[in-house]
């Protein structure tokens, strides 16, 4: 019944790439525009070298998000975002388990599932990686 969809498998990766990439692009730009607030948050969460870490986080989210949206070096972009998400789960959201904010932990966990899937699946056909024949 759904056999025709098998021909669309590569295009099924496009919404995953675009939505996850756009989300990180948006949050990265938001962090850049409120960099002082980002540093303050990381300081409050006891991150070492909070200004450096805020810069790394901001660049990682913007670059990784852009890489996913464009489908350019998709697996590397997804790996960068996976690292960001793992750190966020451990340092920020793990403490929310068992509280009213536990849903935040699960949202970040589901995004990690999406980025890990992109590492494994690659970008799909409508991407710069495919156009440049890097995949």
Q: Where are the alpha helices (DSSP H) in the chain?
A: 9-33, 35-44, 50-70, 74-88, 102-121, 128-131
- Selection from 72, 63, 77 nearest residue 126 by Cα: 72
Higher pLDDT, 26 or 134: 26
Mean pLDDT value across the chain? 93
Residue 96, pLDDT score: 87
pTM for the whole thing? 0.91
Residue 47, pLDDT score: 95
135 has pLDDT over 70: no
């Amino acid at each position: 019944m759904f056999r025709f969809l098998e021909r669309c498998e590569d295009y099924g990766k496009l919404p995953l790439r675009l939505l996850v990439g756009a989300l990180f692009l948006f949050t990265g730009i938001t962090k850049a525009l409120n960099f002082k607030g980002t540093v303050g948050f990381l300081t409050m969460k006891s991150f070492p070298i909070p200004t450096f870490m805020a810069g790394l986080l901001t660049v990682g989210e913007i670059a990784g998000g852009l890489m996913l949206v464009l489908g350019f070096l998709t697996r590397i972009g997804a790996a960068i975002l996976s690292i960001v998400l793992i750190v966020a789960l451990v340092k920020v959201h793990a403490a929310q388990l068992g509280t009213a904010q536990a849903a935040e932990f699960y949202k970040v966990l589901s995004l990690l599932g999406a980025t890990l899937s992109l590492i494994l699946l690659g970008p799909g056909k409508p991407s710069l990686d495919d156009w440049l024949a890097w995949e």
